[in-house]
Amino acid sequence: MNLIQYVEEKLSPKKQLPDFKAGDTITVHYKIKEGDKERVQQYQGIVIQRRGAGASAMFTVRKISNGVGVERVFPVNSAFIDKIELNKQGVVRRARIYYIRQAKGKKARIEEKQHNETEVANAPANAKPVAAAAE
Amino acid sequence: MSGLIGRKIGMTRLADEAGNFVACTVIQAGPCVVTQIKTEEKDGYAAIQLGYEEATDKHTPKAEQGHFKKAGTTNKKRLIEFKGFEKELKAGEVVDVTIFNEGDFVDVAGTSKGEGFQGVVKRWGFSGVGSRTHGQHDRQRAPGSAGASSFPSRVWRGKKMAGRTGGVRAKAQNLAIFKILPEKNVLLVKGSIPGYNGSYVIVER
C-alpha cells in the first residue's frame, strides 16, 4: 500500500456518514465552540460537490439564507461534524452542480429521486427519511 | 546533531487532538546503518557516516563495496556524514526514527524543485515595475537598472539577475514532528519540505 494511504488510514478517524452526493439535500450538525461551551449548529442545504480523496476529502453545501446564497465547505472527516442527515436525494447529471449558482426560479429546483419498491426495501438505514418521503 | 537519511513521500493533512487539520509531510526516514566512524586523530574531525537504502553489487563501485565490507554492512545507495551525533554508535549499528520524539523540532534538507530559467520577480522577489500605465510598456516584470554609471562602470559581482532557479540544496528549519510511525519508519513533520516526492532528504535535530 501507498505510504500516504497507510498514514491516513492509521491517523485519520473514519466517520460513519450517509452516502450523499451532489444534488442531495443534507443537514450538517456542526459542533461549534464558544468560549468553553460547545453547541451543535445545524446547516441545511444542497450538496454542490464532493472533492478530494482520503483524509483531505471535502464537500460543499449551498443554501439560500435570507435571499443570499451561502456556501460552506466541510472536510468529510472533520471531528467537528457531529452527524449528517440525508434529507432528500436529488437527480442531477453532474458531479459538481455549479450551474445551480446562476439558476433562478424553476431552473434552481432539483428533481427528487423516486424510489421503486425494491429500492426502498434495499435502501440503507440512513436513507430512511427519503424512503418515507417517496411513499 | 542527530539525523537520518530518508525520502520525501508526499503531503497530506491530519487532525490534531483538538480536531483541527494540520498540513503534514510524510517522510520515510531510515533505517540507516553506521558505515564509518570518523575520528579527530585519524580523519581530522569527528563524524558519523550513515548509509541508507539497499543497493545491489551491480550498482555499487568496487571501491565502495570494500568500504561497506569493512563496516560489516550491505551495500547502500546514499552515504551522509553527521557531526556531533548525540548517541554513541559503532560501525554496523542501525539507527531509526526512534531517535526522534514527537514534538521535536527538526531541520529537513533536500534539493529544491528545479524551476528552469526564471525572471527576477520569481527568482529574487523583485517587485517589478509596479504600474501598467504612466508610460510603462512591456516591462512590468523587468529588473530595472543593473547599477550606477561611471563608477563603477561595470556590474557588481553577484548582482541578482534572471536565470536557473531551484534545483539547489535547500533546508526547511524548525519543523515540528507531528507523529512517528516506527513500524513503517515514517516521520510526519508539520509543514512542507524542499524537493520532489521521492527525493532524498536529510532530517536532523
Residue of B25, B26, B183 best to disrupt the A interface, most CBs of A under 10 A:
B26
The CA radius of gyration of chain B, in Å to the nearest whole number, is: 23
CB contact under 8 A, B9 and A79: no
Count the domains in chain A: 1
CB contact under 8 A, A3 and B186: yes
Specify the DSSP element, H or E, that contains A131.
helix A128-134
The C-alpha of B110 sits at a distance from chain A's nearest C-alpha, in angstroms, of 20
Residues on chain B touching A13 (C-beta within 8 angstroms): 15
Both B109 and B200 in one domain: the answer is yes
Both B69 and B13 in one domain: the answer is yes
| pLDDT value at B194 more than 90 | yes
Both B111 and B98 in one domain: the answer is yes
The C-alpha of B109 sits at a distance from chain A's nearest C-alpha, in angstroms, of 21
Count the domains in chain B: 2
| C-alpha torsion sign, points B199, B64, B48, B70 | positive
Residues of A with CB under 8 A from a CB of B: 3-4, 6-8, 10-13, 54-56, 75, 77-80
| pLDDT value at B31 more than 70 | yes
Both B75 and B15 in one domain: the answer is yes
Full domain range(s) for residue A17: 3-113
CB contact under 8 A, B15 and A80: no
Q: Give how far the C-alpha of residue B94 lies from the chain's centroid of Cα atoms, to the nearest Å.
A: 22
Which of the two residues, A131 and A51, has the higher pLDDT score?
Answer: A51
Both B85 and B128 in one domain: the answer is no
CB contact under 8 A, B13 and A55: yes
The two most distant CA atoms of chain B are separated, in Å, by 72
- Rounded to whole angstroms, the Cα distance separating A35 from A31 reads 13
Within-domain flag for A8:
yes
Within-domain flag for A127:
no
CB contact under 8 A, B10 and A8: no
Backbone phi and psi for residue B67, each to the nearest 5 degrees, phi listed first: -60, -45
**pLDDT band, very low/low/confident/very high, at A133 (cuts 50, 70, 90):** very low
- Helix, strand, or coil (residue B131): coil
Full domain range(s) for residue B42: 3-116+171-204
CB contact under 8 A, A4 and B12: yes
Count the residues in chain B: 205
Within-domain flag for A33:
yes
Query: Quick check: B182 contacting A, CB < 8 Å?
Result: no
The C-alpha of A55 sits at a distance from chain B's nearest C-alpha, in angstroms, of 6
Give the CATH number of the domain where residue A17 resides: 2.30.30.790
The C-alpha of B128 sits at a distance from chain A's nearest C-alpha, in angstroms, of 36
pLDDT tens for B160-185 read 999 999 999 999 999 999 989 888 89
CB contact under 8 A, A3 and B188: no
Query: Quick check: B10 contacting A, CB < 8 Å?
Result: yes
| pLDDT value at A75 more than 80 | yes
Of A3, A6, A12, the CB nearest to B14: A12
Give me A26's grid cell: 443534507
Mean pLDDT calculated for residue range B63-72: 89
Within-domain flag for A121:
no
Within-domain flag for A25:
yes
- Helix, strand, or coil (residue B153): coil
pLDDT tens for A2-25 read 888 888 888 877 778 888 889 899
Q: How many helices (H) and strands (E) does chain A have?
A: 3, 7
CB contact under 8 A, B12 and A55: yes
pLDDT tens for A48-68 read 999 988 888 899 999 988 989
Nearest CA in chain A to B188: A7
Mean pLDDT rounded to a whole number for chain A = 82
- Helix, strand, or coil (residue A68): strand
User: Do the Cβ atoms of A92 and A48 come closer than 8 Å?
Assistant: no
Query: Quick check: B142 contacting A, CB < 8 Å?
Result: no
User: Do the Cβ atoms of B32 and B52 come closer than 8 Å?
Assistant: yes
Convert B102-111 to b/e letters by CB count within 10 Å (16 or more is b): eeeebbbbbb
What's the confidence (pLDDT) of residue A126?
A: 53
Task: Please name which of B109, B6, B181 lies closest in space to residue A4, comparing C-alpha atoms.
Answer: B181
Both B159 and B178 in one domain: the answer is no
CB contact under 8 A, A7 and B181: yes
The CA radius of gyration of chain A, in Å to the nearest whole number, is: 16
